[in-house]
Structure 1
Amino acid sequence: MYSNPVDPGNRPLLLFFIILGAWETRSGQIQYSILEEAKHGTFVGRIAQDLGLELAELMPRLFRVASKGRKDLLEVNLQNGILFVNSRIDREELCGRSAECSIHLEVIVDRPLQVFHVEVEVKDINDNPPVFPGTQKNLFIAESRPLNSRFPLEGASDADIGENAQLTYTLSPNEYFSLDVPTTDQQVKPLGLVLRKPLDREESPELHLVLLATDRGKPELTGTVQLLVKVLDANDNAPAFDRTLYGVKLPENIPNGTLVIKLNASDLDEGLNGDIVYSLSSDVSPDIKVKFYIDPVSGEITAIGNIDFEESKAYKIRVEAIDKGLPPLAGHCTVLVEVVDANDNAPELTVTSLSLPVSEDAQPGTVITLINVSDRDSGTNGQVTCFLTPQVPFKLVSTFKNYYSLVLDSSLDRESVANYKLVVTARDGGSPSLSATASVSVDVSDVNDNAPTFAQPEYTVFVKENNPPGCHIFTVSARDADAQENALVSYSLVERRVGERALSSYVSVHAESGKVYALQPLDHEELELLQFQVSARDAGVPPLGSNVTLQVFVLDENDNAPALLPPGPGGVAGAVSQLVARSVGAGHVVAKVRAVDADSGYNAWLSYELQAAAGAARSPFRVGLYTGEISTTRALDEADAPRQRLLVLVKDHGEPALTATATVLLSLEDSGQAPKASSRASTGAAGAEAALVDVNVYLIVAICAVSSLFVLTLLLYTALRCSAPPSEGACGPGKPRLVCSSAVGSLSYSQQRRQRVCSGEGPPKTDLMAFSPSVPPFPDSEDVGKQQDLNMDHCPEVSPFILI
């Protein structure tokens, strides 16, 4: 509890003022009471304990107090949970003459959100003395006035209420007047002086009296006014009104000049003594003088100022009727003007934001904001109803008198609506009714409820083989409908094995951009299809993700030259030796050159050409363009050299084309007759032996020549490979090529076919449409001839296939 040093003489008074926070729970509300003018720090109540809150949770739960109007009157000590007086509380300033005076507090705590209503009643103390309209009042009374004549007086006013505002009056002792104090309604019969002894101007022309007003507070406070009674010479009859009290009902906001009432007073005297002049009493309040005017001749009272019910509900007008006699006499009456309320005040809305923004996973019933409505009018004109427009997933719930809570009515989805512009309308019950609106903007905060999504579940990528390491081959992009970190997407590979190696040794993906890179050169002959998955994960808690499949087709480049096959077991690749009888006719196949290309498609489509030796006569042999079969173009004769050395150029159809050279040695021999007589046996044997010696010499020479040509061919092939320009578009998709098919398959095949399709899911896909039938290694010359003897002239009728 808070205490302050006080003067010892006022200690009983202080003990009376301090009230130990008496509280009670009624209709879900905590009530305290406190005396006005309490000192700073005065204990009001243990609000945290009374609300069932632990002291340790006040600060973490953001315990706070909100009040309408002045917000510094009361405060809560968050260390001990005590509500105390923070600044001076003047009940008269706060509530005026109202019988009830309370300070309404809203106590708000978060996590979870709770709202409590606390009402602190401010009790009146006797801190305002009675006050008269003036310090002195002059009364003019004729000496001829009869006994028991009554002279009205304006009483004192006290700003306090109840016992503190109930006044008793005392008149200073004198022999002429007594004080007439009404015991009921002062409006009917005001305070007045009663003449008890006839006045004699010659004896006492002036009387000085003191009127004392005392309230019933503790301690009592008093106020005084000096009464100066001037005794006038006889004017026997004073003006008299029909009634002493007139009641009028006057609507508020009437235009200036509106007639309020017409008064009529009569005087039994004649002449000037009977001429009456009307006027407002000299002791009426200035507020009445600026709002009402009385015509001095007609007695009509008109409104000249703004008549506002909210400012004053009634006006008490004191009117005097004074004749022109000498001395003048006066008659008095009271006009009580009751102001009738009109619906001239629109409702007022006060919005207190609490749980903003609102999480999109908030449960229905979550309190969003508090709304307070008020209307200065009374009765039906001040009865206010609130409703919400337009149709939104929120509703208004009445929590207390003139208090509403804006609560969530249904689930939210930030991806559909991220912000709601709400309009709260308050309408009173007047006719016509008045309304007011308040806009409330409710932002919906994001939760991670959407996984990243790709535009399509699978992408097909074409990459030329022999790409440079680190080449960018594709970019994946996933979109997340959430916001901020919930929409921050990162990418990664779904690791797996590709043959003997890990997938991450082939490709990588940039975590932020989604760019996919080839970490090493890809070889079409080793890997035709690389299928893998890229995962997209957001940064939400918990993170959400999805995968996309990439099919990377490695397009073939012409990076393999034709390879010559040996003619048979024990043969040397690139060299063919053959004995040819001179008796063969035109078109006879005398030898066959066999070659394969490790590439595919056009790059593996081989053609054969016969290279003519410089200065040599026209050769009697030719080679099949696509079969490699060497055949005679005419019948051989004796003029043909017995040793024929042919160079066959094998070339693929790549860009640029790669070649290989094969050497074919043909030995022409005569087809002699068998010996007809035994006598010639020895001669024939000797000739045969000589011929065998010649053949052996020729064979040795041929073998040396073939070996030299083979070495030369290898050197030439190596030089061509090293000097070949790099294929364009190494990392881009290759140009679609036509593949012409026939009954025997494609135009080329790879002799050394390895595993080319690497996919972790099922059999290889057929997106790459290329006809390349498997051919067993080292086929015999007849099979090779049958499969390679294709001519482009036979292809136009066959539908081409395009890489897609």
Structure 2
Amino acid sequence: MDWNIWKEEGSGARRLLLSFLFLTVWKTGSGHVHYSVLEEAKHGTFVGRIAQDLGLELAELVPRLFRLESKGHGDLLEVNLQNGILFVNSRIDREELCGRTLECSIHLEVIVDRPLQVFHVEVEVKDINDNQPVFPMAVKKLFLFESRPPGSRIPLEGASDADIGANSLLTYSLNSNDYFTLDIKRNDENIKSLGLVLKKVLNREDTPEHHLLITAVDGGKPELTGTTQVKITILDVNDNAPEFERTVYKVSLFENAPNGTLAVIVNASDLDEGVNKDVVYSFNTDTSADTLSKFYLDPVNGYINVKGNIDFEETKLYEIQVEATDKGTPPMSGHCTVLVEIVDTNDNVPELVIKSLSLPVLEDAPLGTVVALISVSDRDSGANGQVTCSLTPQVPFKLVSTFKNYYSLVLDSALDRESVANYALVVTARDGGSPSLSATASVSVEVADVNDNAPAFAQPEYTVFVKENNPPGCHIFTVSARDADAQENALVSYSLVERRVGERALSSYVSVHAESGKVYALQPLDHEELELLQFQVSARDAGVPPLGSNVTLQVFVLDENDNAPALLPEPVSRAVGAGHVVAKVRAVDADSGYNAWLSYELQPAAGGARSPFRVALYTGEISTTRALDEADAPRQRLLVLVKDHGEPALTATATVLLSLVESGQAPRPSSRVLAGGAGAGAGAARARLLVLTLLLSTALRCSAPPSEGACGPGKPTLVCSSAVGSWSYSQQRRQRVCSGEGPPKADLMAFSPSLPPGPIGGDREQLNVEVDLSPKVSTF
């Protein structure tokens, strides 16, 4: 940084001393720092340790995006981010910044992010005496009649100094001469009036011209001077100049007054007669072009009218010099000053600028979080320039006034992105004029999501029906959870909640697709082994930390007719009377419901012969339809069909062989007699014995093959009733029938009922029942 502070020759030491005297800093409150600097300070001039005074660490200036903003004066001051020092970056001209306003400051905004903070810094620009007094004209020409009496005063335009304070306080001096002295007066408007006073009678013949030098010296240190030459031509004849009624006319005029509006009437009179008395009004030749563009002076009647745009914000006061010149030869002039004060009207709409938006805002942002910085201004003055801000509509934000016309948009209540994801705010700036003017700006505040919602299922539990014998990998159900959050926070994945099902892990039965939520059966399910599979599926989002919930699935395995009836042997021995039960065929079915409801049928004999036996439809009992006699075939073959009520139905068959033997004949050695009839007495008639042999067929027949791939939800099975009573799900699932010791032989049980003994010596036929349990009968 350049630490040089002016070292110009002659005044360098004094300027260096002034720089140190004015280079001060003080704090005026939290976040507001005040500095001062002399105008025209060289590049690199130290202004203040701004980072230290604002409580900021040097190391955080760059990471926190330290930046300096100044409306309209962006490059005058700069900050060294390495040492946090505010220095002069370019030439500062107080007169260019503030004109003749006594107070002149540069308002800076220091903004840092993470978190967003704003500081207001005011740098007062101190005036130095860098402007010398300037007269309106380098050479002023005056024409005076020689008849002008001594003591008369000739008004002159004084010098002006662009500086302020002591630097603009002027003193005047006149070079030594015999005819004129310099007269300075201050009126009640605190305006200095400069003029020449004639000391003695003029004599054009002696001295036709006078050359004077007027010097103006300001009050600065070092002082600066300005000069003007006054060339006075002595005229003859017309010896009375016009005189105005007032030396100063003071009027007020509203800005934006329409063209033609009368501002003031000036009036001058001349004591001469004739043409020397006729007066013509005109603006002084020193009148500025701006004034000439705004006002028109009628040369005859002295009316001053508006002819241009009168803007209070451009010029608040017009000082107009008016001359009244008679038509004498030579002409004589009188002078007056017209002060036109411009009155402000509310003609400027407030200016509203939204800057440093910190978006989006997290939905869990704490109350008081700064969302944006807003600056407002109004070029009008007084109440017309006083601006207040408001926020619409009713939203969870508020405006907080921070410094003069600066506001912060802050969070005022809790946010919920799932309720409102974006707020359209309207900031209104309204001045205090009557009627007031306003300006609006729109701010769209986006609310950013945080993971505050867990995935949710539509219901806590689902019931699923699946037919048994499904193909492996079959899709049985789809779970779906919705997460009210957004993006990753709403990305849901699914998984099984692992547990044991008997001796096996749940994951050996089912699986769930992590993305789609589809649940698959990994293997065929068996209703006879597992009727109900209950488990949980977990849904987790991808937020940090993740949130989740579970849903319960109850999978009912529906029965299919996949088990044929199985025959169980039950030996029965009964007498051979008509209607007597001689044997019973009993079968079981591992299925349930209709699939396990069995019926028995006796197949017709070959050749269409009528059999003397019948089988009960639902009990399987074989009984005679009549008494047996010698006319019946000695060997009879019965085929019993066992059928369930499944769809399709499955069947099993039992072959029953009947043999008639003589009463008292011994059974064959290869047969095992389970039950027999009573023996005959001496001398009795011949009797016949029936040996019953049952052969079981293991071939299963069905009307149609079982369907494959049926794994969708099934309908629940109902309890039904039949002619032989009610039935429901079978409580016994898998049965194996064994006969005695050793391997199982036949699923057939046949028996003969015991009958009371007949009368001794009586003739009757007797039925002996023999059950063949040879290995030719298959098991299931």
Partner Cα separation in structure 2 for residue 164 and residue 22 of structure 1: 21
Residues 779, 177 of structure 1: alpha-carbon distance in 2 compared, 3 angstrom cutoff: farther
Contact 1:596-1:750 within 8 A present in 2 as well: no
Q: CA deviation at 1:253?
A: 1.8
Match for 2:727 among 746, 754, 768? 746
Corresponding position of 1:764: none
Partner Cα separation in structure 1 for residue 93 and residue 748 of structure 2: 116
> Which shifted more, 626-635 or 542-551?
626-635
SS at match of 1:602: helix
Corresponding position of 1:362: 365
Corresponding position of 1:15: 16
Q: CA deviation at 1:183?
A: 5.2
Letter in structure 2 aligned against 1:12: A
Partner Cα separation in structure 1 for residue 556 and residue 541 of structure 2: 29
Partner Cα separation in structure 2 for residue 48 and residue 143 of structure 1: 72
Residues 178, 139 of structure 1: alpha-carbon distance in 2 compared, 3 angstrom cutoff: same
1:221-236 correspondence runs (5 A) = 221-236=224-239
1:642 equivalenced with 2:623 (yes/no)? no
What TM-score do the two structures reach when normalised by structure 1?
A: 0.83
- Structure 2 residue runs without a partner (length 5+): 665-677, 736-746, 752-780
Partner Cα separation in structure 1 for residue 567 and residue 204 of structure 2: 161
Residues 90, 601 of structure 1: alpha-carbon distance in 2 compared, 3 angstrom cutoff: farther
Match for 1:58 among 52, 55, 61? 61
Corresponding position of 1:508: 511
Partner Cα separation in structure 2 for residue 90 and residue 185 of structure 1: 32
Letter in structure 2 aligned against 1:246: Y
SS at match of 2:290: helix
Partner Cα separation in structure 2 for residue 111 and residue 676 of structure 1: 122
Partner Cα separation in structure 2 for residue 134 and residue 123 of structure 1: 29
What TM-score do the two structures reach when normalised by structure 2?
A: 0.85
1:432-463 residue CA offsets vs partner (Å, 9 max, x unmatched) = 22223232322222222222211111111112
1:130-168 residue CA offsets vs partner (Å, 9 max, x unmatched) = 333344433232232222322222223222222232233
Q: CA deviation at 1:326?
A: 0.7
Residues 245, 591 of structure 1: alpha-carbon distance in 2 compared, 3 angstrom cutoff: same
1:753-795 residue CA offsets vs partner (Å, 9 max, x unmatched) = 59xxxxxxxxxxxxxxxxxxxxxxx99999xxxxxxxxxxxxx
Partner Cα separation in structure 2 for residue 471 and residue 516 of structure 1: 8
Residues 589, 140 of structure 1: alpha-carbon distance in 2 compared, 3 angstrom cutoff: farther
Corresponding position of 1:371: 374
Residues 81, 464 of structure 1: alpha-carbon distance in 2 compared, 3 angstrom cutoff: same
Partner Cα separation in structure 2 for residue 100 and residue 473 of structure 1: 84
Match for 1:298 among 296, 301, 309? 301
Match for 2:592 among 586, 595, 600? 600
Partner Cα separation in structure 2 for residue 476 and residue 210 of structure 1: 105
Contact 2:186-2:192 within 8 A present in 1 as well: no
> Which shifted more, 353-362 or 505-514?
353-362
Corresponding position of 1:792: none
Q: CA deviation at 1:744?
A: 4.8
Residues 195, 630 of structure 1: alpha-carbon distance in 2 compared, 3 angstrom cutoff: farther
1:394-793 correspondence runs (5 A) = 394-567=397-570, 583-585=576-578, 587-615=579-607, 617-669=609-661, 677=682, 706=695, 710=696, 713-714=697-698, 716-717=699-700, 725-727=705-707, 730-735=710-715, 739-741=719-721, 744-746=725-727, 749=730, 751-752=732-733
Corresponding position of 1:26: 28
SS at match of 1:181: strand
1:493-521 residue CA offsets vs partner (Å, 9 max, x unmatched) = 11111111111111122222222122222
SS at match of 1:615: helix
Corresponding position of 1:192: 195
SS at match of 1:56: helix
Partner Cα separation in structure 2 for residue 8 and residue 283 of structure 1: 35
Letter in structure 2 aligned against 1:638: E
Partner Cα separation in structure 1 for residue 602 and residue 207 of structure 2: 166
Aligned residues: 723
Corresponding position of 1:307: 310
- Structure 1 residue runs without a partner (length 5+): 569-577, 755-777, 783-804
Partner Cα separation in structure 2 for residue 444 and residue 187 of structure 1: 61
Partner Cα separation in structure 1 for residue 415 and residue 98 of structure 2: 44
Q: CA deviation at 1:600?
A: 1.8
Partner Cα separation in structure 2 for residue 172 and residue 344 of structure 1: 51
SS at match of 1:486: helix
Corresponding position of 1:106: 109
Contact 1:579-1:667 within 8 A present in 2 as well: no
1:317 equivalenced with 2:297 (yes/no)? no
Higher helix share: 1
Corresponding position of 2:742: none
> Which shifted more, 102-111 or 668-677?
668-677
Match for 1:249 among 241, 249, 252? 252
Corresponding position of 2:741: none
Partner Cα separation in structure 2 for residue 21 and residue 511 of structure 1: 70
Partner Cα separation in structure 2 for residue 343 and residue 730 of structure 1: 85
Contact 2:461-2:553 within 8 A present in 1 as well: yes
Partner Cα separation in structure 1 for residue 60 and residue 137 of structure 2: 57
Contact 1:360-1:445 within 8 A present in 2 as well: yes
Contact 2:129-2:222 within 8 A present in 1 as well: yes
Residues 5, 376 of structure 1: alpha-carbon distance in 2 compared, 3 angstrom cutoff: closer
Residues 662, 223 of structure 1: alpha-carbon distance in 2 compared, 3 angstrom cutoff: farther
> Which shifted more, 42-51 or 277-286?
42-51
Q: CA deviation at 1:37?
A: 2.5
Contact 1:532-1:551 within 8 A present in 2 as well: yes
> Which shifted more, 189-198 or 259-268?
189-198
Contact 1:557-1:727 within 8 A present in 2 as well: no
Match for 2:204 among 201, 211, 227? 201
Corresponding position of 2:770: none
Partner Cα separation in structure 2 for residue 269 and residue 8 of structure 1: 59
Partner Cα separation in structure 2 for residue 171 and residue 163 of structure 1: 22
Partner Cα separation in structure 2 for residue 21 and residue 606 of structure 1: 114
Contact 2:73-2:106 within 8 A present in 1 as well: no
Q: CA deviation at 1:329?
A: 0.5
SS at match of 2:300: coil
Corresponding position of 1:774: none
Aligned CA-pair RMSD: 3.1
Contact 2:7-2:13 within 8 A present in 1 as well: no
Contact 1:485-1:539 within 8 A present in 2 as well: yes
Residues 639, 545 of structure 1: alpha-carbon distance in 2 compared, 3 angstrom cutoff: same
Q: CA deviation at 1:238?
A: 0.6
Q: CA deviation at 1:479?
A: 1.5
> Which shifted more, 539-548 or 283-292?
539-548
Contact 1:108-1:114 within 8 A present in 2 as well: yes
SS at match of 2:291: helix
Q: CA deviation at 1:173?
A: 4.5
Letter in structure 2 aligned against 1:3: W
Letter in structure 1 aligned against 2:607: G
SS at match of 1:741: strand
Q: CA deviation at 1:747?
A: 5.5
Letter in structure 2 aligned against 1:347: P
